[in-house]
């Protein structure tokens, strides 16, 4: 992606000095997740499909939850019309919004709007230009969801067995 050409990979140990309003990106299996650093170890992001098919809200979460065990990059925007504090304020102004749309209002759209004033997604554009990539991304997301659901169901069965054993 062109906006990530100047991105810097970081680990959580070096995240203590993140600039306020930094556009963060975390590469996942099949896509890149985006958020805005708002200080005190918190990131505003669109929860999106992480909470099910209906899409989650724009929320502030700890940096560790945002990274979800993946690396984090700072996406540089040298021509941004907004200061870091303004970017953070713009992100906070949308907290609680529940208008997630994978193709037209996702986490990358949110961050681009906060930093540049217009919501767009290089990931969506790449999928539109290359339908084979779109199919690969959709299959990857589906497999990840199935694995996550399977793990959750397995944990529930294990906890039910433990409760039943304790009650015996």
Task: Based on the fold, state whether residues 53 and 30 are members of the same structural domain.
Answer: yes
Domain count, the chain: 2
The range of the structural domain enclosing residue 86 comes to 2-120
Task: Based on the fold, state whether residues 21 and 101 are members of the same structural domain.
Answer: yes
Q: Could you write out the three-class secondary structure of the chain?
A: CHHHCCCEEECHHHHHHCCCCCEEEEECCCCEEEEEEEECCEEEEEEEHHHCCCCEEEEEEEHHHHHCCCCEEEECCCCCCCCHHHHHHHHHCCCCCCCCECCCECHHHHHHHHHHCCCCCHHHHHHHHCHHHHHHHHHHHHHHHHHHHHHHHHHHHHHHHHHHHHHC
Whole-model pTM above 0.75? no
Task: Based on the fold, state whether residues 12 and 90 are members of the same structural domain.
Answer: yes
pLDDT per position as a tens digit, 54-88: 678 999 999 999 999 999 999 999 999 999 999 99
């Amino acid at each position: 992606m062109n906006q990530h050409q100047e991105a810097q990979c970081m680990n959580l140990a070096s995240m203590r000095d993140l600039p306020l309003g930094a556009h963060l990106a975390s590469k996942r299996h099949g896509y890149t997740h985006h958020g805005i650093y708002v200080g005190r170890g918190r990131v505003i992001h669109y929860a999106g499909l992480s909470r099910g098919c209906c899409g989650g809200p724009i929320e502030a979460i700890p940096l560790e939850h945002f990274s979800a065990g993946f690396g984090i990059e700072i996406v540089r925007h040298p021509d941004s019309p907004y200061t870091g504090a303004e970017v953070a304020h713009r992100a906070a102004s949308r907290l609680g919004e529940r208008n997630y749309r994978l193709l037209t209002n996702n986490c990358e759209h949110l961050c681009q709007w906060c930093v540049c004033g217009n919501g767009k997604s290089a990931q969506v554009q790449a999928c539109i230009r290359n339908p084979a990539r779109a199919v690969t991304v959709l299959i990857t997301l589906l497999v990840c969801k199935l694995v996550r659901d399977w793990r959750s169901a397995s944990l529930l069965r294990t906890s039910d067995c433990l409760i039943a054993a304790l009650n015996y």
